[in-house]
Amino acid sequence: MGNDGVQTELLIKEKAKILFFQKGLLNATTQQIADEAGVNRALIHYYFRSRDLMLDLLLEETLQEKKARTRAFLVSDLSFREKIARFIDAVVDWGLNYPYLDNFIISETARNPDKIKSFCAKDNVKSSDLIREGLEAEIKKGAIAPISAEHFMVNLVAMCNYPLLAKSVLQTIHGMTDAAYQKFLHERKNVIYASIFNEDMPKIYEKNGN
């Protein structure tokens, strides 16, 4: 047989993810993807049938991986504060690789609201349910001001994700170099943790700090 098909398929997916989720090119054409991967455009149809099907697959895979890397900490048997610390760490680190993933999902969802529903249908456990117990304990202790689990999670995810999403905008507004923005994002891990618990994040989790 000719070449190894599996490798080519992986290559195309890899490069497509870079275009969509890393570079934020929401409307990357099949030609652009093929160029990025250095293969003939027809191969995209050979392996994925159509551009849309490839997008579905990429989203499916990538969301699965993100969930495994981030949400996993919330279902662990770590202490509440450790859960949150590791979650922040993981979400920011993940976002440094694929800053535009959320942006992509949001746009796709606007275009086709039903698509996101099928993705969400798979995990019917809301992340807010995973931290409710621990959160309420902290509230009872007086360590955190009263807040619902839903609002708490939205605050948390918002503070982690927004600066990743809006990277290019914030970077321009604040006149930061790429390096400065990277540093800013790593600082944020501690800032977010501190804004919740009013104390510094355990040093262990600042592994990528600059």
Q: Where does this chain bind its own copies (CB under 8 A)?
A: 23-27, 100, 102-103, 105-107, 109-111, 113, 116-117, 120, 126-128, 145, 147-148, 150-151, 154-155, 157-159, 161-163, 165-166, 168-170, 172-174, 184, 187-188, 191-192, 194-195, 198
Q: Are 181 and 170 in contact (CB under 8 A)?
A: yes
DSSP letters spanning 106-139: HHHHHH-HHHHHHHHHH--S-HHHHHHHHHHHHH
Question: Which of residues 50 and 208 has its CB atom nearest to DNA in the complex?
Answer: 50
**Among 43-51, 59-67, 71-79, 180-188, which window interacts with DNA (CB under 7 A)?**
43-51
Residue 96's binding partner among its own copies, DNA, none (Cβ under 5 to 8 angstroms by kind) is none
Tell me the closest approach of the beta carbon of residue 65 to its own copies, in angstroms: 17
**Among 36-44, 107-115, 132-140, 163-171, which window interacts with DNA (CB under 7 A)?**
36-44
Q: What is Dmax (Cα atoms) for the chain?
A: 67
Tell me the closest approach of the beta carbon of residue 109 to its own copies, in angstroms: 4
Residues 171, 163: Cα–Cα separation, whole Å = 9
Q: Are 129 and 71 in contact (CB under 8 A)?
A: no
Query: Rule CB under 7 A: is residue 115 a binding residue for DNA?
Result: no
Tell me the closest approach of the beta carbon of residue 14 to its own copies, in angstroms: 19
DSSP letters spanning 45-67: HHHHSSHHHHHHHHHHHHHHHHH
Only one residue has tokens 């890393």, namely: 22
